Homo-oligomer: A and B are copies of this chain.
Amino acid sequence: MVKCRRCLVEEASVWIPYAKLHLCKKCFSEFTIKRVRETVEKYRMFGSTDKVAVAVSGGKDSAVLLYTLKKAFPDVRFTAFHVNLGIEKYSEDCLKKAEALTKMLNLELFIYDLKREKGFTIDDFKHTRFKRRICSVCGTIKRQVFNEVSEKIGVNVLATGHNLDDMVEIMFSNFLAGDFEQLSRLKPVIPPFHPKLVKKVKPLFRIPENETALYAFFNNIPVREEECPHVKGSRLIERKRLLELFSKENPNFKYQLLSVFLKKLIPILEEREKEKAFTVCEVCGFPSSTNICGACRRIMELKSVLGKV
């Protein structure tokens, strides 16, 4: 039996390779909360006077985000919100779990229903030319909705549950696709560069995916059981598996890649972007690099297709 390196009493249940630590369930949970607290403080994500919205999807990462933030910062007022994407079967499960989570934490849940608010669901994009790239469209739409919701509920900070693996996977794919503009969106803290925007923060960005999964499991956090039907065709999972292989060889691999992106590449890219002017989308009014933003363009395309159906 391997003993926990922290309490030296309990049996160790988790091995943290990059920190070379064996931990028991309880000490692992404390270790995670401490890391979340330190990340928020080190990167000045928010303070006690801020109003923080937490996007809760029904999945493990955002559930762990809300749960650990509540424990790490008992004095901060968090507003949980959930976007019902209208994905058959999947979204119903997500909504239920988001409700169970906020009930468990004694918090209110603000629900934004895509169908009710905008008249379409993510599933509807199956009828458009984006049918093979629904995950990408879904990301664009969610970004817009997150902006709207943050404005509506009157917060000045928005926290999302991106974990280390998400960060590395998205950065690496964008890099490989040569899409350098998207890269800077992955920063752990994005200051509001326009009055209509709020500060966006990612408190879990240094926590590997297997740890958020274990944390959710150990703490009986309600988490969706359904898999999103659109993720099946996507390359995301395969790419994460490959990055995992690299990590097996080199436990610091993900942190190394993250650090190169955040400390070397993104600063160079941002320096170049500085001069670039941005405008405001003619339709939704949020900042955009084009006259009509990506989300609104996709929605217009969807509506014209749905009109024809």
- A283 at interface by CB-CB < 8 Å: no
Min CB–CB distance A142 → chain B (angstroms):
26
- Verify if A178 is at the interface (C-beta below 8 Å from B): yes
Selected from B178, B242, B253, the residue in CB contact (under 8 A) with A245 is B242
B-chain residues with CB within 8 Å of residue A175 when the two chains form the complex = 260
Q: Is A232 an interface residue (CB 8 A)?
A: no
A236-267 Cβ-contact flags toward B at 8 Å (1 or 0) = 00100010011001000100110110011100
Main DSSP-derived SS at the A contact region: helix
Q: How does the 8 Å CB contact mask read for A166-210 relative to B, with 1 for contact and 0 for none?
A: 000000000111101000000000000000000000000000000
Per a CB cutoff under 8 Å, which of B180, B238, B256, B257 touches A264? B180
CB-based nearest B residue for A176: B256
Return chain B residues, CB-CB under 8 Å to A249. Answer: 238, 242
A246 touching B242, Cβ below 8 Å: yes
Contact A178 B264 (CB under 8 A): yes
Q: How far is the CA of A231 from the CA of B155 in the complex (A)?
A: 56
Complex CA gap A180/B177 in Å reads: 19
> Copies per complex?
2
* Alpha-carbon gap, A256 to B174, bound state (A): 12
Flag whether A228 is at the interface (Cβ < 8 A).
no
Question: How near does chain B come to A62, taking the closest CB pair, in angstroms?
Answer: 28
Roughly how many angstroms separate A246 CA and B235 CA in the complex, as a whole number? 12
**Which chain B positions have C-beta within 8 A of A263?**
178
Question: Please, which residues of chain B bring their CB within 8 A of the CB of A276?
Answer: none
Q: Is A269 an interface residue (CB 8 A)?
A: yes
> Contacts of A242 on B, CB cut-off 8 Å?
242, 245-246, 249
A-B residue pairs in contact (CB < 8 Å), sample of 9: A178-B259, A178-B260, A178-B264, A180-B268, A242-B245, A265-B265, A268-B268, A268-B269, A268-B272
The interface residues of chain B lying within 8 Å CB-to-CB of A265 are 265
Bound-complex Cα distance A256 to B175 (A): 10
Closest 10 CB pairs of A and B: A178-B264, A178-B260, A176-B256, A242-B246, A238-B249, A245-B245, A242-B245, A176-B260, A180-B264, A175-B260
The complex places the Cα of A259 from the Cα of B177 at a distance, in Å, of: 9
Complex CA gap A269/B249 in Å reads 29
